[in-house]
A and B are shown apart, each in its own frame.
Chain A
């Protein structure tokens, strides 16, 4: 109980301290600005595409962005194209009919969150090890409480960043779409933020786990970037080389150890795959973190 309380105190202080740190604040604001700009440009692009499409298909022109896309979703040939892109019928079924603005934000959040994680949290532990700040902590609490507290604090920080980006993206969407904004857009965007937050946890575990291995903050950030790139590339390669027979049939199982393999579960609407994916991702996050911690536990501080 005492350890949990100490862990929570470290987490709160870590979150508070990260918010105060100029570097984290700059990255957070940049991420928010990126979400805002992404939404603005995407709506511009979508509007242009829809206008072109309406001209080509000789449909009536609409001032509101998203109306044509929503209609397009329902067409069979378009669904066929999307099926090939997602390679997942269930996901396609679940996202069909959702407003494109919502999906643009979801894509943004899922794509950039790993980078946000590495830039904000990737060096927090290495920084404390390098500067010796950790030495003021580990004669007061256990190393495990410190690591888990830092992890929890950064998890809160990423959650906060995602909520802010969701709010910023919604504000732009609401302003640009005006009357044509679909009902419940705000709640839906926050829901995507929450899903991206779950998706961020294994990357957070990976970046912070790696951060235990070095005393150099910049080295920890570089290691984090290499690790997320590796995850991304490895997922593509494993998917590409997977086959139904022979040793290549085992490749998808290795893929389960990487966060991207579970990403599609977070795009689902039904609770079962969503819950399974979330549990997998949380477990992966803790496994990555604890692997790094196992090294720290045995090393000199």
Chain B
């Protein structure tokens, strides 16, 4: 498998508690992987182990086919946005990022250009020389995000990248991260499942230090092969529905009062399914929304 990160049977203990309990996970190259799991599941511990911050008890880590993290090999190729880590208070964003760029092997000119471009990208072009201590929490977070993308690294690990940002910056950052899809390998840990759904193409569910499921978002949610109709009531008669879409599978989820229609995307488009199914459905009940695919939150809760 052409994996950017491959971890096998990772074990990390904090005292008696196992934060990672044999976690095995492979992140394909150029994937945008979302790590989803409850608090204390091991997402941050996994990222910190991959970045070489933590010493693992057992297991194997392979980064870009060059073994575990080694700054001599991986500096500038793998970066991380660590959680709860402050930047030096007296530093200035531009000079600090230039310094980081130099340390990861960029030339002075490249480092300065990359730092300025990244700060512009995170809308801090007017705060180049403001001391970090004078920046708001959200601005500091943007500097932290900017430092991850200096010099175009191959793998970027982002721990809660969008928390603490205002709605406008969240939207901008989502667009910024989406642009990198297919060009860099991104691993995003977040409790906001909507962000994961929008940004990622792969999802891993982590639970009690283990990866309980790794799948593409398409496999998990079936965006291209499932239509979900939120209904005002359950249809009384399924026969006309089955006749309208004979090749599709129809199931009703009473918990969310939705009709789930799974179809073969090679044989019909969502538009064709809608044009055939809705005339049979509307005489029986009202349709409040139609969405492509399932909801990540629903799928995640199902997997618990």
Contact = CB atoms under 8 A, between A and B. Distances in A.
B69 A140 contact: no
A300 B75 contact: no
Contact of B75 (A21, A140, A298): A140
Interface stretch (A91-99, A112-120, A128-136, A243-251): A128-136
Interface string B87-111: 1101100000001101111000000
Interface in A145-168: 145
A111 interface: no
B103 A10 contact: yes
Interface stretch (B50-58, B115-123, B223-231): B50-58
A139 B69 contact: yes
Contact of A140 (B84, B87, B90, B100): B100
A140 B85 contact: no
A138 B80 CA distance: 10
Interface of chain B, helix or strand or loop or mixed? loop
Contacts of B71: 138-142, 145
Given A131-B85, A140-B75, A21 B90 contact: yes
Contacts of A21: 90
B85 A135 contact: yes
A133 B86 contact: yes
Contacts of B76: 140
B74 interface: yes
A139 B75 contact: yes
Contacts of B184: none
Contacts, number: 69
Contacts of A136: 82, 85, 87, 100, 147
A20 to B, nearest CB: 4
Size band of the interface chain A makes with B: 20 to 34
Contacts of B87: 133, 136
A20 B89 CA distance: 10
Interface string B50-70: 011111000000000000010
Contacts of B48: 300
A196 B78 CA distance: 43
A13 interface: yes
A145 B51 CA distance: 17
A139 B52 contact: yes
A138 B100 contact: no
A59 interface: no
Nearest to B51: A139
Contacts of A10: 103
B16 interface: no
B79 interface: yes
A139 B79 CA distance: 7
Q: Counting chain A CB atoms within 10 Å of each CB, which of B71, B80, B100 scores highest?
A: B71
Interface in B13-65: 48, 51-55
A17 interface: yes
Nearest to B144: A136
Contacts of B72: 2, 142
Nearest to B54: A300
B69 A20 contact: no
Q: Counting chain B CB atoms within 10 Å of each CB, which of A22, A139, A145 scores highest?
A: A139
9 contacts: A17-B88, A17-B91, A132-B85, A138-B53, A140-B76, A140-B100, A141-B103, A300-B53, A301-B54
Interface of A: 2, 6, 9-10, 13, 17, 20-22, 128, 131-133, 135-142, 145, 298-301
Interface of B: 48, 51-55, 69, 71-72, 74-76, 78-80, 82, 84-88, 90-91, 99-100, 102-105, 147
Given A21-B90, A133-B85, A145-B71, 17 more contacts: A13-B99, A20-B90, A22-B90, A132-B82, A135-B85, A136-B82, A136-B85, A136-B100, A138-B71, A139-B51, A139-B74, A140-B75, A140-B76, A140-B104, A142-B72, A300-B55, A301-B53
